[in-house]
A and B are shown apart, each in its own frame.
Chain A
Amino acid sequence: MTILHHLDQTTLLRYASGDLDEAFSVVVAAHLAMCDECRRELRIAEDIGGRLLEESEMATVSDGAFSRIMCRIDEAEASGETILAAPPIALRGGKQDVPSTLQRYIGTRLADISWKTVAPGVRRHKIALSTPTRSALYMLKIEPGKAVPEHGHGGTEMTLILSGAYRDALGRFGPGDLADLDEHVEHQPRVEPGEPCVCLVATEAPTRFKGIFSRLLQPLVGI
């Protein structure tokens, strides 16, 4: 898989510093799971945090803090079960086309997702999040050749392609590619012929559609 479209630098820094809500960090983590290049970048961005932690001044920690933590460790271990984290088991094989970080949200196979038609040729699956957020996270499945109406964004939007491909003014987006758009970008994606495009989308705020016809399609990205 050749990935051509990656995390924006500011998104990378926001992820590394913990400034994304759950919807967006799910999309970013799924891209990172697919992209060696961005994972290398993430290490750099996290080194910044490590350095700032090292350089940080030292606050006074209460006297008993260390013995308190050792007590907790003793207590936990006295109960018989180990509290030490086990090394993660190797990845399961088999047919799975969903990045591992996404599996707890949508399962292991794209074919198992239940879709709801929201416009001709466009199906959506909303993803429930575990924490409250202003953003929405959902999957879209758009039929080949279908154009998504032109829209500017009310806020940040991030789209990760999982299968199929679309093309817009910014180029071709295939599996693993991330469209990391901020609010001012206008784009009109059209799905390439051949197979449907399945993508994971996080949006910060409802998208403003132009035109009356397009507004009928609002539920497509509606929250």
Chain B
Amino acid sequence: MLIAQVALRQDRDAFKSLFQYFGPRVKSVMLRAGADHEFAEDLVQEVMMTVWRKARLYAPERGPVSTWIYTIARNARIDRLRRASSQPYLDLDEIELASGMADGEDRAFASQRAEHVARALDELPDEQRRIIEYAYVHDMAQSEIAAKLELPLGTVKSRMRLAYTKLKGKLEVLK
């Protein structure tokens, strides 16, 4: 696994492959979240730098690499785009790592879970999927989503709940 090579040996070729795969995707997410090109490039540097620095802390039993990099990008977005604080997220990560809180979940479970989530996302009705994308990719607040879609806030919330419930339903088979 690429990330393991970066973690164990600071393997630059492996890191380059990760950069080539995730860099453009992270940039695209930052652009859609409202960053301009220059800022988005900056954020790609920051996110990939964190990937390099924290590769040893990546825990496959918690989820796939893409999920881990997503959380790094989200945290950068919270700090730099929203000018809020990702500190609570970082502190939570720390205590999870320090106490080995994997809750009996393992690598195989985590990757199956992610596959089911992926499939469930593909099967979501458009109106639910769009709201999820606005929140996760476009970094829109619930109230902004409501305004954009000309829907009451309550409808946005209930569609989010529906989408999440459907996703969870797909995970039942894993239990």
Contacts and interface: CB of A to CB of B under 8 A. Distances in A.
Interface of A: 9-10, 12-14, 16-22, 25-26, 28-30, 32-33, 36, 39-40, 43-54, 56-62, 65-66, 68-70, 72-73, 83-85, 87-91, 100-101, 104, 129-133
A208 B18 CA distance: 51
Nearest to B162: A9
A46 B140 CA distance: 16
Interface residues of B, number: 82
Most chain A beta-carbon contacts within 10 A, residue among B56, B89, B103:
B89
Contacts of A33: 91-92, 95
Interface of B: 10, 12, 16, 19-20, 22-29, 31, 40-41, 44-45, 48-49, 52-57, 62-64, 66-71, 73-75, 77-78, 82-89, 91-92, 94-99, 101, 103, 105, 110, 113-114, 117-118, 121, 132-133, 135-137, 139-142, 157, 160-161, 164-165, 167-168, 171
10 contacts: A14-B135, A17-B136, A43-B62, A48-B132, A53-B70, A59-B27, A60-B24, A84-B53, A91-B98, A132-B83
B117 A53 contact: no
B45 A50 contact: no
B24 A59 contact: yes
Given A25-B88, A70-B12, A12 B164 contact: yes
A44 to B, nearest CB: 6
Given A33-B91, A61-B24, A132-B83, 19 more contacts: A18-B75, A19-B141, A30-B88, A43-B62, A43-B105, A46-B71, A49-B74, A49-B136, A51-B67, A59-B31, A61-B23, A65-B19, A66-B16, A73-B49, A85-B53, A88-B94, A88-B95, A88-B97, A101-B92
Most chain A beta-carbon contacts within 10 A, residue among B24, B29, B91:
B91
A62 B41 contact: yes
Contacts of A26: 88
